[in-house]
Chains A and B, each alone.
Chain A
């Protein structure tokens, strides 16, 4: 009886304390008046959208990322934080200098406005995917091309989601 009490007293509360920061959002959104978004971020998002040339079927594909993360009520900063971090992965694609600059502006600008203090800030962003073992050159090229198209498709959808989430934040800020 006595050892059971010790387990519950000294075991569970520390567990709660450890898990609590993971569940909480420490983001404080600056620029809720929409000045930074309308004058800077939105311009770069539109530029990126025009640079991405992709099929219209792309928009129908739902990625696992969007199934896990969405711009729900009271979760807008968290979604934007995740989305901005995800965008950094696409810098490695090296499509063009201007493309990378706009991508970096959207990602970095969003993170700066969110002013989040969550842990894992310095973590290296996960890569887009592992390299496939080379079977032959042609198959590798087609696979790379297909992967690039998939990535661009995902990026296009991600940009739309970011835009929608920002509009939602600004609309809620105006109503309040």
Chain B
């Protein structure tokens, strides 16, 4: 009996001890929450102290009693199987060169040598870079920009070399209005026009691994740096620029005024030349026309003019001789008479010939000569003096300066065969009112052409 009782007592005692160690509570509930209480997080810092790496772990619940708790890392180490963490305040850390940096490691929380909770993690995926430092802001006046530079210890490291940097800046008076810029280098340019003038700014930087192998968390912020933007100088202009702008303004104004003043007289004739008007040209040629001057090509307006027949020609012999030399002797006698009678006082080496057979014929209008020399539609060009009909019979012989000689048998023009300088014609005052210009209707075009050539010659 005694033995039996003792045995039963021992069994119950063992049961109680075992249940107590397994965490079985008296109220019957499993305390699974104990595992959550010991949850922890870790981060690594590679080459933080020369070739040594740092691994830091801490409980997520700050109320955990970590008095007797220890951390241990196994696997993923060189030459050893496991390493124990050191403790400082509430943080556990290990500083060693013996991380393999390939594959996973196992970190366990131990209490009294027994594992409470373990976590598998890859050290290279929990890298926290060191904070940047030495943030400087330099103002470049010539480019109106601010150059931000900073330094990081990872530039000299072998493993975690490539980082992504986040630069943030704000107006000091705006507490939470930060501007963010991400860069991969250690230099940033801020344009002055994007910042407020005459204001104080705060700027700081942090980093994160930016490689396809090492990953992790943002570093701590760098110490803040402050800079002031200059006052707005857009109102002040460069004096040289000011002078140039004033001179150019006045030049443009002067050009506009001159253009307005000289538009009609000088500019418009060049830009939009006017076609010659025959009436105006005639007026210009006549220079000081008298008020009652009858300038017209209409023969009816000359009806009251005295038109004298030209009977005699002083240089008759010369004219005949010239005509015989230049033309073949095909002319009829009647034509010779006409030529002889009609042309008077001609000096043949002149520009134009004066042949008016009509004047010899009397009443008949101008007829063309047969033979080699024909005078067809011979226009009469007045002299330089305006033909004043009232003075026609009084002033004596008129001077005809230009007449156009018609074509010969070959229908070719003969304007140059009878060069005409100035001839004196003796007019028969008895013959008056001869319609000298009756046939001018058909030769008006030639008269216009001659007039325009006169205008051009002038």
Interface residues of A (CB under 8 A from B): 31, 35-36, 38-41, 43, 47, 97-98, 100-101, 104-105, 108-109, 112-113
Asked whether, in the complex, the Cβ of A105 is within 8 Å of the Cβ of B213, the reply is: no
30 A–B contacts, CB within 8 A, in A order: A31-B102, A35-B212, A36-B213, A39-B101, A39-B124, A39-B159, A39-B211, A39-B213, A39-B214, A40-B101, A40-B102, A40-B159, A40-B213, A41-B102, A43-B158, A43-B159, A47-B158, A98-B51, A100-B79, A101-B79, A101-B98, A105-B78, A105-B101, A108-B78, A108-B102, A109-B100, A109-B101, A109-B102, A112-B103, A113-B102
By the criterion CB–CB under 8 Å, are A108 and B214 in contact? no
Q: Nearest CB to that of B99 among chain A residues?
A: A105
Q: Verify A112–B100 contact, CB threshold 8 A.
A: yes
A-B complex: 3 closest residue pairs judged by Cβ atoms: A39-B213, A35-B213, A104-B78
Smallest CB gap from B103: residue in A: A112
- A35→B215 CA distance, assembly (Å): 12
Q: Chain A residue with minimal CB distance to B160? A: A39
Pick the contact of A36: B51, B78, B102 (CB < 8 A). Answer: B102
Least CB distance, A170 to chain B, in whole angstroms? 14
Interface residues of B (CB under 8 A from A): 51, 78-79, 97-98, 100-103, 124, 158-159, 211-214
Question: In the bound complex, what is the Cα–Cα distance between A36 and B98 (angstroms)?
Answer: 17
Where chain B touches its partner, the secondary structure class is loop
B159 touches A101 (CB 8 A): no
Q: Residues of A contacting B212 with CB < 8 Å? A: 35
Seed contacts A31-B102, A108-B102, A109-B100; 13 additional CB < 8 Å A-B pairs: A38-B213, A39-B101, A39-B124, A39-B213, A40-B102, A43-B158, A47-B158, A97-B97, A101-B79, A101-B97, A105-B78, A105-B101, A112-B100
Please measure, in the bound complex, the distance between the C-alpha atom of A77 and the C-alpha atom of B34, giving whole angstroms.
Answer: 46
Say whether A104 contacts B79, CB under 8 Å.
yes
Determine which residue in A31, A35, A38 has the highest number of CB atoms from chain B within 10 A of its CB, and name it.
A35
* A100 to B98 Cα, complex, angstroms: 10
Q: How far is the CA of A59 from the CA of B159 in the complex (A)?
A: 29
CB pair B100–A108 under 8 Å, yes or no, is: yes
In the complex, the answer to whether A98 meets B97 with C-beta atoms within 8 Å is yes
The minimal Cβ–Cβ distance linking B216 to chain A, given in whole angstroms, is 14
Specify the chain B residue showing the minimal Cβ separation from A33: B212
Kindly name the residue among B79, B102, B124, B213 whose own CB sees the greatest number of chain A CB atoms within 10 A. Answer: B102
Rounded to whole angstroms, the CA-CA distance of A98 and B78 in the bound complex is 11
Contact A105 B211 (CB under 8 A): no
Q: Which residues of B contact A112 (CB under 8 A)?
A: 100, 102-103
- Provide the bound-state CA to CA distance between A36 and B124, in Å: 10
Q: Which residues of B contact A40 (CB under 8 A)?
A: 101-102, 159, 213
Interchain CA distance A109-B76 in the complex, whole Å: 9
| Chain B positions within 8 Å of A41 at CB level | 102
How many angstroms from the CA of A43 to the CA of B101 in the assembled complex? 12
| A32–B130 CA distance with the chains assembled, in angstroms | 30
CA distance in complex: A98, B52 (Å)? 10
A-side contacts of B103, CB under 8 Å: 112
Give Cα A104 to B79, complex, Å: 7
Residues in chain B near residue A104, CB distance under 8 A? 78-79
A6, B212: Cα distance in complex, Å: 61
Of chain A, the residue at the smallest CB distance from B79 is A104
For A39, the chain B residues whose CB sits under 8 A away are 101, 124, 159, 211, 213-214
CA distance A38 to B79 in the complex (A): 22
**Which one of A101, A104, A113 has the highest number of Cβ atoms from chain B below 10 Å of its Cβ?**
A101
The closest CB in chain B to the CB of A110 belongs to B102
* A109-B103 Cα distance, complex, nearest whole Å: 9
Name the distance in Å between B3's Cβ and chain A's nearest Cβ. 50
Residue of A nearest to B50 (CB): A98
Alpha-carbon separation in the docked complex, A67 to B158 (Å): 34
Interchain nearest-CB distance for B106 vs A (Å) = 15
Residues on the A chain within 8 Å of B102, using CB: 31, 36, 40-41, 108-109, 112-113
CB distance from B385 to the nearest CB of A (A): 109
Query: Which of chain B's residues have a CB closer than 8 A to the CB of A105?
Result: 78, 100-101
List B contacts of A113 (CB < 8 A): 102
Chain A residues closer than 8 Å to B158, beta-carbon distance: 43, 47
Which residue of chain A has its CB nearest to the CB of B96? A101
CA distance A12 to B211 in the complex (A): 55
Q: Quick one: closest B residue to A47, CB to CB?
A: B158
State A120–B51 Cα separation when bound (angstroms). Answer: 34
The docked-state distance in angstroms from the alpha carbon of A41 to that of B124 is 14
Residues of B within 8 A of A36 (CB): 102, 213
CB distance from A142 to the nearest CB of B (A): 31
B84 to chain A, nearest CB (A): 19
CB distance from A154 to the nearest CB of B (A): 22
> Which residues of chain A come closer than 8 Å to B51, judged between CB atoms?
98
Which residues of chain B have C-beta atoms less than 8 A from A108's C-beta?
Answer: 78, 100, 102
List chain A residues, Cβ under 8 A from B213. Answer: 35-36, 38-40
A101: B residues at CB distance < 8 A: 78-79, 97-98
Tell me, in angstroms, the Cα distance from A100 to B100 when the chains sit together: 12
Chain A residues contacting B100 (CB-CB under 8 Å) are 105, 108-109, 112
Q: Which residue of A lies closest to B211 (CB)?
A: A39
Q: Which residues from A are CB-within-8-Å of B124?
A: 39
Contacts of B214 in A (CB 8 A): 39
Residues of A within 8 A of B159 (CB): 39-40, 43
Q: B215 → chain A, closest Cβ, in Å?
A: 11
Within the complex, the shortest CB–CB distance from B94 to chain A, in Å, comes to: 15
Q: How far is the CA of A97 from the CA of B51 in the complex (A)?
A: 11
Q: Smallest CB–CB gap between B38 and chain A, Å?
A: 29
Task: Tell me the complex Cα distance, A38–B98, Å.
Answer: 19
A41 to B103, CA, bound (A): 13
